[in-house]
Structure 1
């Protein structure tokens, strides 16, 4: 048997799949979980696949609540896909860390706000934006993650174009 030692900083800076593997190994070694393959929780089957337009509508509803906006765009990062049907997983602790919120309760409040906004956008109280597993992960549909990422990319491109247009209009025409 070979052992290795990692600092907290090395673990924190490791890619998400490595952190999740370490997490699973620690949980298993402590006898808190079995080594059975990961399966998507039953609620994952009810997650809606959101379009870019859906996510733009959600953003419009939560625009005035910066923490909720930060949580929404955090879910646009690449996650880990697993299960049938496939879901994207995000550690709640990572969302907490990246958004600089104070506790998981604040993350959950933001996720609930996003879910309520989606029910208003879709005009359907039965839609489910995200779900959760017993290991501290938030689950969303892969299409939803891709739509959030696309919305972010579109917003950044528009912002860049506006900056370039503004910079171009400041330049005095040559005489």
Structure 2
């Protein structure tokens, strides 16, 4: 058996297929694979609902008391990688885990399922899905949903800023 050592810089500069292979090896070695069945096919974009800002505000109201779920929701307002036809935005579960500082990918999945459930209540449609998952550790959402989350975040920050600048009477 031969081992090699790579610096973070070397990994960052490696071609995408090499980085993906390294990521999969690390995930497998550390036992951090998401809790999704291996036999499940990747979801189709048609199963995902394109959510409006109002939909996202409704979801936020449903999950407001669960801070980790709120953090995961707003994490998906960051730009993701768009691919496919119809297009979907992809986010690595490991990136969500890192940015939200949750303990493991299982907690990220739990938060995402809470968000899915909140959306079914907001839309009053049990088949509506906020997100889906693939077998390679990615969360998939509709591009409009990502834009709506980012817009909701920006609106909330603007309101908070305006509230700070209004002089007390």
Q: Which interval holds the TM-score relative to the shorter structure? A: 0.7 to 0.9
- Aligned 8 A contact 2:38 2:135 in 1: no
- Aligned 8 A contact 1:71 1:99 in 2: yes
Once the 2 structures are TM-superposed, how far is the Cα of residue 134 of structure 1 from its aligned partner? 1.1
Once the 2 structures are TM-superposed, how far is the Cα of residue 46 of structure 1 from its aligned partner? 1.0
Aligned length: 168
Distance 1:33 1:127 in 2: 25
- Could you say if the C-alpha distance between residues 138 and 102 of structure 1 is closer, same or farther in structure 2, counting changes exceeding 3 Å? same
TM-score by length of 1: 0.74
Instruction: Give CA deviations for 1:48-80 in whole Å, capped at 9, x if unaligned.
Output: 000000000000000000000000000000000
Once the 2 structures are TM-superposed, how far is the Cα of residue 174 of structure 1 from its aligned partner? 15
TM-score by length of 2: 0.77
- Could you say if the C-alpha distance between residues 172 and 115 of structure 1 is closer, same or farther in structure 2, counting changes exceeding 3 Å? closer
- Could you say if the C-alpha distance between residues 6 and 109 of structure 1 is closer, same or farther in structure 2, counting changes exceeding 3 Å? same
Once the 2 structures are TM-superposed, how far is the Cα of residue 7 of structure 1 from its aligned partner? 2.2
Q: Which has the larger radius of gyration?
A: 1
Give the root-mean-square deviation of aligned CA atoms: 6.2
Instruction: Give CA deviations for 1:12-36 in whole Å, capped at 9, x if unaligned.
Output: 7999999669758999999999999
- Aligned 8 A contact 2:72 2:96 in 1: yes
- Aligned 8 A contact 1:119 1:127 in 2: yes
Instruction: Give CA deviations for 1:77-133 in whole Å, capped at 9, x if unaligned.
Output: 000000111000000000000000000110000000000000110111110110111
User: Unpaired runs of 5+ in structure 1?
Assistant: 163-169
Distance 1:95 1:2 in 2: 32
